[in-house]
Amino acid sequence: MKKFLPWVAAIALILAGGTLWLVSRDNRSGNGDQQIKSPHFVDSTPLHGETYAAQPVNVTINFNFDIADNSEIKVNGGGREWTAAPTKVEDAQTALKADLKPGMPDGEYIVEYRACWPDKSCHDGQFSFRIDSSDRTGYRDLRGKKEVTIRMASIAFSDPKILVSTGTEVTWVNDDEAGHFVNTETHPEHTYFPGQNSREIPKGGEFKTTFNTLGQYSYHCSAHYPGMVASLIVSE
């Protein structure tokens, strides 16, 4: 975060055509637990206040308005900044995404973002999430398998929480009469990991995705949300 400047200097910088994040983290919220929503904010992955059992693959923020390419996400925790690459704008210019560096430890993370519109105006926001690896105790360990199958029956995923290795191909098979979906977070935007988005899967149908990046992938069936949810972690 850029250092807070006196108002005179800030105005001079703006008049000169510079970019300034006008409010520092401390001046925005006083603490990392407070969520500040910019205009047109819809939701995010992770959600504000959410706890992950492993680090997210990325931070994705959804809006109901077009986002300009000069928008930015910063993720800080444990005295470090964890954004791995320049912020991306996806999903027909309505999703802001920042990939994350590997090795994020347990603890709280503050997400600060600047959402800019096509008219060049920019708006700041903030939220936080946590990582707590002790939550992995509820995950079935299927690491070491090249292929894993999850069945969908009785409006549920057969293995709602699993650990898999990098490069694992996961197949979802529908055993129900009702059609199902496999969709990445959030609902209904489905922007976190688009490769995990299926079309409707009929009885006897299947959907496959290969997971190559370490991290947590929460997902759901859109036809039966919020009752039909699951999560997998790609781990070493």
* Spans of all domains in the chain: 21-134, 139-234
Cβ(158)–Cβ(134) below 8 Å: no
Per-residue pLDDT of the chain (236 residues; tens, 9 = 90+): 333 333 333 333 333 344 334 333 332 334 567 999 999 999 999 999 999 999 999 999 999 999 999 999 999 999 999 999 899 999 999 999 999 999 999 999 999 999 999 998 999 999 999 999 999 999 999 999 999 999 999 999 999 999 999 999 999 999 999 999 999 999 999 999 999 999 999 999 999 999 999 999 999 999 999 999 999 999 99
**Topology adopted by domain 21-134:** Immunoglobulin-like (2.60.40)
Predicted local distance difference test score (pLDDT) of residue 160: 98
- Which of 132, 115, 125, 1 lies closest to 56, judged by CA? 132
- Which of 226, 149, 225, 233 lies closest to 193, judged by CA? 233
pLDDT tens by residue, 139-149: 999 999 999 99
Strands 122-131 and 107-116: antiparallel
Predicted local distance difference test score (pLDDT) of residue 30: 40
Predicted local distance difference test score (pLDDT) of residue 186: 97
85 residue type, one letter: A
What are the backbone dihedrals phi and psi of residue 190, each rounded to the nearest 5 degrees, phi first?
60, 55
Predicted local distance difference test score (pLDDT) of residue 116: 98
Task: Give domain 139-234's CATH number out of 2.60.40.420, 2.30.30.100, 2.130.10.10, 1.10.10.10.
Answer: 2.60.40.420
Tokens (6 digits) for 183: 């969709």
Predicted local distance difference test score (pLDDT) of residue 4: 33
Q: Is the fold of 21-134 the same as that of 139-234? A: yes
Element (H, E) at 131: strand 122-131
The gap between the terminal CA atoms of the chain, to the nearest Å, is: 32
